[in-house]
Amino acid sequence: MGFQFKQFYVAHSDVAMKVGTDGILLGAWADVQSAQSVLDIGAGSGLISLMLKQRSPFISITAIEIDAKAALQAKSNIAHSQWPDIKVIEHDILTYTSAQPFDLVVSNPPFFQRSLKGPNEARNTARHTDSLSFAGLFDAFNRLSTLDAKLALVLPAESLDQISTLVTKYGFCLSRITYVKTTLTKPAKRVLIEVSKLEQICLESELIIHQGDGYHPDYIQLCKGFYLKM
């Protein structure tokens, strides 16, 4: 049974939070075929963890969230799902430790760098790199994952150069990049990035979300398992 995304709201929130396209994309795109233990950094409502669990029910997932309200929301959403064994931890990923390393790390990280903040502090924490820089994210991935682990991210397209610099700095490898366009004629607004600790050939592709009055066939193919109706 898939989520009906348009009606999926976070529980116990002062402000209703709809499911975002970025999370849907990452949850459907991240490669879970060979994963056994997954770390979801900045889990928010728990959406990505739930999507990964739906795709691969036997994987072990730990969801880390620094914001107390968001962690509570994730716990509630997961407890009421078909996969209550997803572990939610309220913690700062920069100081989090784990006895067992993870072979897949996923994150829809904060990305509004050097931009003005609004009055909602929880939203600021979720969207600004003051709370988690890309370098901090790579440090956590390097420290908490296996030697052959992969990191899957969804980011603004303009962040690709910065991520590529960090990949080189850490001696990692870009193994997959998907450029996400809202329509065929518009430039890519988001990128889905897979970073590998092992050397691999980088596979590049393009994904278009909308076509005419509906979704593009490629987006439907990627995400159809999570919509009750498209």
pLDDT per residue as tens digits for the range 50-92: 999 999 999 999 999 999 999 999 999 999 999 999 999 999 9
Using pLDDT thresholds of 50, 70 and 90, give the confidence band for residue 228: confident
Q: Please say if the pLDDT value at position 34 is more than 50.
A: yes
Using pLDDT thresholds of 50, 70 and 90, give the confidence band for residue 130: low
Cα angle for residues 91, 93, 96 (degrees, 5° grid): 75
| Interatomic CA distance for residues 157 and 18, integer angstroms | 23
Cα atoms found within 13 Å of the Cα of residue 219, Cβ hemisphere only: 20
pLDDT per residue as tens digits for the range 19-28: 789 999 999 9
Cβ neighbours around 121 below 10 Å, total: 10
Sign of the dihedral through C-alpha 218, 160, 64, 175: positive
Q: Please say if the pLDDT value at position 17 is more than 50.
A: no
Q: Please say if the pLDDT value at position 119 is more than 60.
A: no
CATH classification number, 5-226, choose in 3.40.309.10, 2.40.50.100, 3.30.470.20, 3.40.50.150: 3.40.50.150
Q: Please say if the pLDDT value at position 1 is more than 90.
A: no
Place of tokens 């370098």: 135
CA distances for 121 relative to 62, 67, 68, angstroms:
25, 10, 12
Rounded average pLDDT over 193-222: 96
Contact (Cβ atoms closer than 8 angstroms) between residue 50 and residue 3: yes
Interhelix angle 68-79/47-55, rounded to 10 degrees, is: 30
25 vs 8 pLDDT, higher one:
25
| Interatomic CA distance for residues 155 and 113, integer angstroms | 12
Interhelix angle 160-170/134-144, rounded to 10 degrees, is: 40
Give the pLDDT score at 198.
97
Using pLDDT thresholds of 50, 70 and 90, give the confidence band for residue 208: very high
Contact (Cβ atoms closer than 8 angstroms) between residue 176 and residue 202: yes
Using pLDDT thresholds of 50, 70 and 90, give the confidence band for residue 131: low
Structure-block tokens of residue 106: 């996923």
| Interatomic CA distance for residues 129 and 63, integer angstroms | 19
Using pLDDT thresholds of 50, 70 and 90, give the confidence band for residue 111: low
- How many residues does the structure list for the chain? 230
The pTM (predicted TM-score) of the whole model is 0.86
